[in-house]
Structure 1
Amino acid sequence: MMRYASVTSRLAGLGSEKWAVHVRARQMRKAGTEIIELTIGEPDIPTPPDMIEVAEQAMRAGRTGYSNGRGEPGILAALAAKYSVRTGRAVTPENVMCFPGTQTALSIVMLGLAEHGDEVITGDPLYATYDGVISATGAARVSVPLHPEKGFRMQATDLEKVITPKARVLLLNTPHNPTGAVLGRQELAEIGEVCRKHNLWIVSDEVYELLIFDGQFTSPFDLPELAERTVVVSSISKSHAAPGFRSGWCVGPKEFTQRLLPLSESMLFGVQPFISDMTAYALGRPSAAATMRENYLRRAKRISAQLDDVAGIACKVPQAGMFILADIRSTGLSGNDFAMRLLEEEHVAVMPGESFGDNLSGYLRLSLSVADDKIDAACAGIVRLASRLQPRKYA
């Protein structure tokens, strides 16, 4: 029998298996069944034509050769400027590294901070790929429960309860996927104080930074007392409706990026120059986020109006992002079972809460990047199934 590295065993079941409903929906669609798909968070507006034009011009100008391990000068300068303005501090290209999307950035950052015997702390619920990202390092994931009654926002007191001498990193996500929760400045300061006390790194996934419906965005990187222990990961996928271009980055202390650079170079050694040029241009233009915010908030309100307190379902408008949660625990089914029945019986595809952690068991995650008429049809299907499961009260 051939032998494999232990990482393949650690990651078994942590990849596409979490997206089983989505995969099944695509199979049904390919076979000719009409499916309303509310599974993944892909912007439903096209990448702006001027951004595509910049990428095309860059390719025609010969920007198709090798890059360097850190990133092209133009995009490094654009990102340094963005974070200098946001933080009010001098952020330089030496604080920045570029990657093919946030997922790659997160993977390499985590490999640089954690290893076998360490612990990485996350909230629960959490984004579906975090388990794999952490397990790939050999570290163990430790959960902080995010409570619905607290708006799914991490509490510093809950964080402190789970910290052990093995803890090395807190992986934050604000605005949060899947719940849409947004951590405020005071909450971040309190969480950051716990991290300072226990000498933890903070990795802050901020891909939904520009998709807050009401209020201000704050990052732990923006707080001066946390800057030297915080690494930001983000991309243009959500903010600029450009997920297929795979253009992301990390921003952190200079020493961190210097230490991370050889690791990145051993895996990637650069990103595409023409995509870097497009990203630098995109960071200097108004993003598509304003249009998406308007659409997502309208749809979130539309879904909540049709599902909340209907057929035993609870469904509240989130603070941010491109998803809304529906609590279907009163049906007696798990999120997995409800989602699969919803797909097979009503031809509506949603993500089960269990794909995002134990603390979201009995929930569904619905994407807001779907046209309003499909939103209405999907909600009708959810109500029909929930009513069938509770016939005496809701028939």
Structure 2
Amino acid sequence: MQYADVTTRLAGLGSDKWVLSATANARIRAGEAIINLTIGEPDVPTPDMLIQSAVAAMHAGRTGYSNGRGEPALLAALAGKYSALTGRSIGTDRFLCLPGTQTSLYLVLTALCDPGCEVILGDPMYATYEGLIRASGAVPVPVSLDPAHAFRLQAADVAAAITPATRVIMLNTPHNPTGAILRPADLDAICAVAAEHDLWVVSDEVYGNLTHDGAVFTSALANPAYEDRVIVTASISKSHAAPGFRSGWVCGPADFCTRALPLSETMLFGSQPFIADMTAQAVAGAPDLASAMAARMARRAGIIHTALDNVAGLHVHKPEAGMFALVDIRALSQDSQAFALALLKAEAVAVMPGASFGKAFEGWLRLALNASDDATQEACTRIKRFAMGWPR
């Protein structure tokens, strides 16, 4: 039988990257006491007031069809949020509402890229990015993120990677897996390169509310000089502990939203109105939940740093934001998958191998910060013991 080329382009780019997490979850379902530090889920349940908002909307009959752009109340809430974030008026015509950041990025990249186009992005990268790019027929062009630059993408490296086929520069700030936050000067320099070569800038900003220890997040939309070529995506999955509700959005130029709307409508013709009502309430409220979560995660990153940095050949990179800390195991192993699997088998601690996030991240581990302080400390004790016994 014949299949579309997209199935070949995406072979190995889906759940294959999450084999270690799936293995850990299977052992947990079998009753084993695994400390699972693989997935970046919020460390608290979805707030009851948001659940009740969705329930009330359902009882009020908000269960019918929506439209491809989004429900009016949610569009108004998003316009208010981004107007406050940028300090200038951002209209409702600059948004499209979709089920989560993943779907939003799929829409954006499909709307911008033709087969053979190139998308420049940092390496390491979130595990789904390569698949999102290849699904459109475009080709990912990874640019290594240097620890010496705190894993912040450098405009000079972006410029050096540009070819006649380049169409998009893809950003992720705050960054998964490194937790790096691009500074205003970084964003301006990258956007200036994009303007010079007439390229789009697509920025995944889902961790924007989860900054640590006073770090400041700046959106790629901040500079009005570049807003005609910048598209950002985000959702309530992380900031409001609501990953299962699948509620996200795109903010970009009004013309982009108009051009992309038929694609959005072809994909799904609107999200659920009762979830839109819940999201409008979440977006319009103060980011108290995210601030408290970020404080806990910053504390756990500190626990990991204190316990493991410069211990048994390990080095720890503390994040500026987000849900993960990084452990450099290159002094012990260049095979992060084998190391992580052996750690799971020997010590019942599950972490993500760096290889799942790009070639530049081989020899690193990503540790989620959503386990309790005590569980995080115990995981560190086990990781230290395992590293000290690793063959030299």
Identify the TM-score tier after normalising by the shorter chain. over 0.9
Q: Kindly provide the CA deviation profile for residues 41-64 of structure 1, in whole angstroms up to 9, marking residues without a partner as x.
A: 000111111111111100000000
Counterparts of 1:195-344 in structure 2, within 5 Å, are 195-213=194-212, 214-287=214-287, 288-344=289-345
Q: Which whole-Å CA distance do the structure 1 matches of 2:333 and 2:243 have between them? A: 36
Runs of 4+ in 1 over 6 A off after TM superposition: none
**C-alpha RMSD of the superposition:** 0.9
1:142-177 deviations in whole A, cap 9, x for unaligned? Answer: 011100111000111111111001000011000000
Q: Indicate conservation of the 8 Å contact 1:314/1:326, yes or no.
A: yes
Query: What is the 5 A alignment of 1:37-56?
Result: 37-56=36-55
Cα separation, 1, equivalents of 2:334 and 2:391: 11
Q: Which residue of 2 aligns with 1:79?
A: 78
Secondary structure of residue in 2 paired with 1:325: strand
For 1:191, the aligned partner's letter is I
Q: Offset at 1:338?
A: 0.7
Partner of 1:134: 133
How many residues get paired? Answer: 390
- What is the CA–CA distance in structure 1 between the aligned matches of 2:333 and 2:50, rounded to whole Å? 48
User: 2:122 aligns to what?
Assistant: 123
Unpaired runs of 5+ residues, structure 2, are none
Contact 1:311–1:390 at 8 Å: present in 2 too?
A: no
* Matched AA of 1:252: G
1:347 aligns with 2:348: yes
Cα distance in 2 for residues equivalent to 1:29 and 1:53 = 30
Q: Are 1:99 and 1:247, in contact at CA under 8 Å, matched by a contact in 2?
A: yes
Contact 2:124 2:144 in 1 (8 A): yes
Q: What's 2:25 paired with? A: 26
Deviation at 1:85, TM superposition (A): 1.4
* Kept after mapping to 2: 8 A contact 1:175/1:208: yes
Question: Partner of 1:315: helix, strand, or coil?
Answer: strand
Q: Aligned with 2:227: secondary structure?
A: helix
- Give the distance between the partners of 1:83 and 1:292, measured in 2 at CA: 22
Residue 125 of structure 2 corresponds to residue 88 of structure 1 = no
Larger CA deviation: 279-288 vs 107-116:
279-288
C-alpha distance in structure 1 between counterparts of 2:352 and 2:126, whole Å: 12
Query: Residue by residue, what CA displacement relative to the aligned partner does 1:156-201 show, whole Å, maximum 9, x if unpaired?
Result: 1111111001000011000000000001001111111111111110
The residue type paired with residue 124 of structure 1 is D
User: What SS class does the counterpart of residue 50 from structure 1 fall into?
Assistant: helix
Deviations along 1:196-230, one digit per CA (max 9) or x if unpaired, are 11111000100010111123211221111110000
Residues 333 and 339, structure 2, Cα contact 8 Å, conserved in 1: no
Give the Cα separation in 1 of the matches to 2:92 and 2:322. Answer: 29
> In structure 1, what is the equivalent of residue 380 of structure 2?
379
Contact residue 323 and residue 368 of structure 2 kept, 8 A: yes
Distance 1:244 1:158 in 2: 36
- Rounded Cα–Cα distance in structure 2 between residues aligned with 1:183 and 1:62: 43
Cα shift at 1:89 = 2.0
Whether the 8 Å CA contact 1:25–1:37 is kept in 2: the answer is yes
Contact 1:326 1:363 survives alignment (8 Å):
yes
Structure 1 residues 4-45: Cα deviation after superposition (integer angstroms, max 9, x where no partner): 100001000000000010011111112222111000000011
CA–CA distance in structure 2, aligned partners of residues 44 and 382 of structure 1: 21
Q: Distance in 2 between matches of 1:377 and 1:338?
A: 18
Q: Distance in 2 between matches of 1:29 and 1:356?
A: 24
Aligned mates of 1:318, 1:280 — CA distance in 2: 29
Deviates more, 1:216-225 or 1:73-82: 216-225
In 1, Cα distance between equivalents of 2:338 and 2:106: 31
Could you tell me how far apart the structure 2 residues matched to 1:216 and 1:302 are?
22
List gaps (5 residues or longer) in structure 1.
Answer: none
| CA distance in structure 2 between the aligned counterparts of 1:316 and 1:152, rounded to whole angstroms | 10
CA-CA distance at 1:316 after TM superposition: 2.6
- The CA deviation at 1:293 is 1.1
What is the alpha-carbon distance in structure 2 between the residues aligned to residue 308 and residue 215 of structure 1?
21
Give 1:9's aligned residue. Answer: 8
Superimposed CA distance per residue, residues 113-146 of structure 1 (whole angstroms, 9 cap, x where no aligned partner):
0121100110001000000000001111001110
Give 1:23's aligned amino acid. Answer: A
- Mapped to 2, the partners of 1:339 and 1:332 lie a distance apart of 10
8 Å contact kept, 1:41–1:369: yes
